[in-house]
Amino acid sequence: MLSLYAASGTTITYYIKELLFQGQVHVHSPMGNLQNLEGVKIGIRGNWQLTEEELSTMTQREKETFQELLRQQKHQLYMLNVALSNTVDFNYVLDLDGRFLYVNKPLLELWGKTLEEAVGKNFEELGYPPHLVQLHELQIKQVIQTKKPVKGENPYANPQGKAGYYEYTFVPVFDEKGNVEAIAGSTHDITEKKRAEEKEKNEEAQRIMRADMQEQYLRALESKDVPVGIVILEGEKRLITFVNPVISKLWGRTKEQVLNRPLFEAIPELDGQVFKNLLEGVYTTGIPYFGTEVPAVFIIDGKEEIVYFNFVYSPIRYEKGTITGIFVTAIDVTAQVHAKQQVIAEQQRLYDFFQHAPAAIAVIRGKDQVYELANELYQKLVGKTAEQLIGNPGRKSLPELIPQGIWDIFDTVYCTGETFFGQEFPVQLDRLGDGNLDQRYFNFVAQPIKNDKGEVERIFIHAVEVTDQVEARKRAEESEARLEQRKRLYEAITASTPDLIYVFDLHYRFTYANEALLKMWGRTWDESIGKRLLEVGYEPWHAEMHEREIDQIITTKQAIRGEVAFPHATLGRRIYDYIFTPVLNTQGEVEAIAGTTRDITELKELSRQKDEFLAVASHELKTPVTSIKAYAQVLQRLFKNKGDAQSVELLAKIDGQINKLITLIADLLDVSKMQAGKLQLRLHTFDFDELVTEVVDDIQRTITQHTIRTELTQNTMVYGDRDRIGQVITNLLTNAVKYSPDADIIVVRSSVATGTVTLCVEDFGLGIPREKQAKVFERFYRVEGSKENIYPGLGLGLYISSEIIRRHGGTIWVESTEGQGSTFCFTVPTRKRTLQQQEDSLDEEAIKHE
């Protein structure tokens, strides 16, 4: 059976029709008309041969007919083949298994195969690539199933590499019953057309794509996410045709405010800045400009704002290369610039710090130790200027250090790479530049600075002058040594003295006690130090008394002196005279109490013996004086009775001298009584003025040169010892007479104030120098007269007077101008009670002292 498929074209149709006419072949027309043609069944197997079986069943005529038919058919087929092959299209027939039944010549040529080589082979066997094999198998199945043609387009390359693009149609070929019995195929080379199409399509796509991309770019650049500012400036007017939000924000102007306006009109403040010239340059030369950290000043809301930019001005060229505009990209680097400025400022600060560091810092470089750095303090420290140091080798800058071996130290640091630490290192420096070296001390570090290879390149010197400290320390050490020496001295003194020396802290504890004191206590140092009085064996009243005294000293800061008895460990009860003195700290506060105590038992005894002796002596003296006086007076009377006036006069003189002697004896006796605290006052109320008048009259009787003038109060009653106060007035008057040898008047005044009476005796004599005025009331004080004026007396009168007045609770004083005279005054209380109180308190005092 032969099935043909006429792909297209009339020629094919014609031949097919011829075949159909003969009713021997089923033909599937290109138009899809199915025609069932009658005819003999001819099994055509490629070589168009009938089988033996077929031939045997045929009659002769049939055989002949067939032969003829066959010849005709062969011829027709040949012509058909020629016809089908004389086209540029590929024509072919496939069986239902996809094997080629027919292949026209162009296709065979494309394949490079003969018809015989191709018939009976499928696509795979003919070398089609797998995807085409698979595709065509599917398409064949589709044709069989749907009984409809299938169209397709494929690129194909033959084994020789000739490639093309093909469109093809698989058409079903039906048998008599209408079943698909074969597939006819026609393939047309559409490579050229495809290429043209493709080209056109590509161009269009590219055009679209370009436009699209531009749009997208610009849109993207308008996005707020773009960190880069973009501006397109067109034409010589720098018309702003594009501006993205980054820029408009930086400009402080909206897009609408600037778009399609000339740059320098939209942002006038830029006019005077560098940008105009830069843009001009780019526009004319076409050479892009890269600006780095260029400041731009904008006026935003009336305020100047400086923004730093990194930017590029790129020329925009038209196709022919003409520059039509400038594409500006800019990044705001203000923050970086500020950061950088900060870093610079930081570095400056570091440098400043280095320069003004409280320590001297220097860096020396290389073997020659050339000064690279030397801060102010270092310069000051070594006494050189920056010019003398920087860039110069150390040995040249500071030659004075060479003999001191300082540079050798740095050499060592340089060679060994080991840091040198100088502690209180002595260096002699010529700071004033006068050649005189000054001893200074430094703490310094010489630290090697190594390079990548580990070689020492520089030495970092860090020095602090400690001269003051070293000298202070040395002084302190010296003073400590001196202090130590002094301490030993004091210890030697305090240890050897028989006096008791000790120190209390503010809590009444002994912090020091000398040998003598420890001996007195019969205690060791350890048993005594840190202990209170009670703890070292003082009786409670005694400890209490001293503690109160310490309290008083802390408050008043005044020393206290007293006498007290204490049982000595070996000598028994002894009398001690003690002085507590405040030890003040630098703030003037009491920090301790120092005490010295002297054993005055012997002294007391001696004093007592002396006073006793005085008392006895003066008493014993009185007895013969009394009899002498009595004899003299008897004698005087006898002579008087005899009328011997001369003897009477002489005896009166003897009596006067005896009276002086009596006064001296009385004074001695008084003093001894006062010393013993036994001066007794015979107190009663008396008329003070009467007493004064009486004494004045008595004195006046014995003197001739002076007149005693009185200015007295009247009827002033005083409670006191009339005789003793009279004794005082007498003393003052006799002194006045005695010390005003050239005067002729003495004034006595009395006055009364509330509760007191005051008496003053004024003379116009020698007067008393100021510095001696306080001393005249001391015991045994005597006025030193000139050589021709030696004033006799024991120096007891004013002492006794002051004691008497003191005992009365009064005061005595002197006002005097040397060469003009003196006024001695005393005041005593007039009232009994006041005096009594005074007596009481004196009694208490007396008790304490005994």
Partner 1 sequence: MSKKILIAEDDEGILDAMKLMLELEGYEVRATRDGKTLYDMKEELPDLLLLDIWMSGMNGRDICKYLKSQEQTKRTPIILMSASKDTEKTAREAGADDFLAKPFEIDELVAMVAKYT
Question: Which residue, 191 or 633, is less far from partner 1 as judged by CB?
Answer: 633
Beta bridge partners of residue 420, listed in sequence order: 446
- Out of 626, 657, 685, 707, the residue judged to bind partner 1 by CB under 8 A: 626
Question: Which residue, 633 or 773, is less far from partner 1 as judged by CB?
Answer: 633
Does the footprint of partner 1 cover residue 680 (CB under 8 A)? yes
- Out of 33, 60, 623, 704, the residue judged to bind partner 1 by CB under 8 A: 623
- Out of 25, 446, 658, 708, the residue judged to bind partner 1 by CB under 8 A: 658
Does the footprint of partner 1 cover residue 468 (CB under 8 A)? no
Tell me how long the chain is: 850
Cβ at position 621, least distance to partner 1 in Å = 9
The three-class DSSP label of residue 686 is strand
Q: Which stretch binds partner 1 (CB under 8 A): 33-41, 201-209, 297-305, 635-643?
A: 635-643
Q: Which two tokens stand for residue 621?
A: 């003296």
Question: Which residue, 214 or 627, is less far from partner 1 as judged by CB?
Answer: 627
Does the footprint of partner 1 cover residue 571 (CB under 8 A)? no
Q: Which stretch binds partner 1 (CB under 8 A): 219-227, 421-429, 471-479, 619-627?
A: 619-627
Cβ at position 815, least distance to partner 1 in Å = 32
Give how far the C-alpha of residue 679 lies from the chain's centroid of Cα atoms, to the nearest Å: 78
Beta bridge partners of residue 721, listed in sequence order: 683
Q: Which stretch binds partner 1 (CB under 8 A): 503-511, 616-624, 754-762, 804-812?
A: 616-624
Beta bridge partners of residue 717, listed in sequence order: 687
Which strand (E) or helix (H) includes residue 718?
Answer: strand 717-721
Does the footprint of partner 1 cover residue 340 (CB under 8 A)? no
Q: Which stretch binds partner 1 (CB under 8 A): 114-122, 597-605, 627-635, 825-833?
A: 627-635
Cβ at position 613, least distance to partner 1 in Å = 16
Does the footprint of partner 1 cover residue 669 (CB under 8 A)? yes
Which strand (E) or helix (H) includes residue 501?
Answer: strand 500-504
What is the x/- site pattern for partner 1, positions 638-657, by CB under 8 A?
Answer: x-------------------
Cβ at position 778, least distance to partner 1 in Å = 24
Of 169-198, binders to partner 1 (CB under 8 A) are none
Does the footprint of partner 1 cover residue 662 (CB under 8 A)? yes
The three-class DSSP label of residue 810 is coil
Does the footprint of partner 1 cover residue 132 (CB under 8 A)? no
CB-based contacts of 691-700 (< 8 A; 24+ apart in sequence) = 691/722, 691/725, 691/726, 691/729, 692/729, 692/748, 692/750, 692/759, 694/726, 695/726, 695/729, 695/730, 695/733, 696/729, 696/733, 696/748, 698/730, 699/730, 699/733, 699/734, 699/737
- Out of 114, 627, 714, 841, the residue judged to bind partner 1 by CB under 8 A: 627
Q: Which stretch binds partner 1 (CB under 8 A): 108-116, 563-571, 618-626, 818-826?
A: 618-626
Beta bridge partners of residue 152, listed in sequence order: 168
**Sheet with strand 456-465: strands edge to edge:** 370-374, 360-365, 456-465, 438-450, 420-429
Are 98 and 123 in contact by the 8 Å Cβ rule? The answer is yes
CA–CA separation, 164 vs 155, rounded Å? Answer: 6
Question: Which residue, 358 or 624, is less far from partner 1 as judged by CB?
Answer: 624
Cβ at position 689, least distance to partner 1 in Å = 23
Question: Which residue, 253 or 673, is less far from partner 1 as judged by CB?
Answer: 673
Question: Which residue, 490 or 631, is less far from partner 1 as judged by CB?
Answer: 631
With CB under 8 A as the rule, give the number of residues binding partner 1. Answer: 23
Neighbours of 478 (CB within 10 A): 10
CA–CA separation, 72 vs 69, rounded Å? Answer: 5
Cβ at position 615, least distance to partner 1 in Å = 9
Cβ at position 633, least distance to partner 1 in Å = 4
- Out of 347, 631, 702, 837, the residue judged to bind partner 1 by CB under 8 A: 631
Which strand (E) or helix (H) includes residue 519?
Answer: helix 515-521
Does the footprint of partner 1 cover residue 674 (CB under 8 A)? no
Q: Please, which residues have CB within 8 angstroms of residue 777's CB and are 6 or more apart in sequence?
A: 798, 799, 801, 802, 812
Q: Which residue's entry shows tokens 């436009």?
A: 211
The three-class DSSP label of residue 466 is coil
* Strand 438-450 relative to strand 756-762, pairing: unpaired
CA distances from 40 to 11, 51, 160, 180, 840 (A): 24, 15, 43, 19, 186
Question: Which residue, 37 or 666, is less far from partner 1 as judged by CB?
Answer: 666
Its sign, for the CA torsion 314, 318, 321, 324, is: negative
Question: Which residue, 415 or 652, is less far from partner 1 as judged by CB?
Answer: 652
Question: Which residue, 133 or 628, is less far from partner 1 as judged by CB?
Answer: 628
- Out of 61, 219, 682, 787, the residue judged to bind partner 1 by CB under 8 A: 682
What is the x/- site pattern for partner 1, positions 411-440, by CB under 8 A?
Answer: ------------------------------
Cβ at position 495, least distance to partner 1 in Å = 48
Longest C-alpha distance within the chain, in Å?
250
Angle of the 688-702 helix axis to the 722-738 helix axis, nearest 10: 40
- Out of 610, 629, 738, 779, the residue judged to bind partner 1 by CB under 8 A: 629
Does the footprint of partner 1 cover residue 285 (CB under 8 A)? no
CA–CA separation, 702 vs 699, rounded Å? Answer: 5
Does the footprint of partner 1 cover residue 622 (CB under 8 A)? yes
The three-class DSSP label of residue 125 is coil
Question: Which residue, 721 or 762, is less far from partner 1 as judged by CB?
Answer: 721
Question: Which residue, 297 or 634, is less far from partner 1 as judged by CB?
Answer: 634
Question: Which residue, 316 or 666, is less far from partner 1 as judged by CB?
Answer: 666
CA distances from 242 to 30, 261, 383 (A): 63, 10, 66
Does the footprint of partner 1 cover residue 625 (CB under 8 A)? yes
Q: Which stretch binds partner 1 (CB under 8 A): 96-104, 105-113, 587-595, 634-642?
A: 634-642
Of 689-748, binders to partner 1 (CB under 8 A) are 723
Q: For 558, phi and psi rounded to 5 degrees?
A: -110, 145
Residues lying near partner 1 in the complex (CB under 8 A) = 619, 622-631, 633-634, 636-638, 658, 662, 669, 673, 680, 682, 723
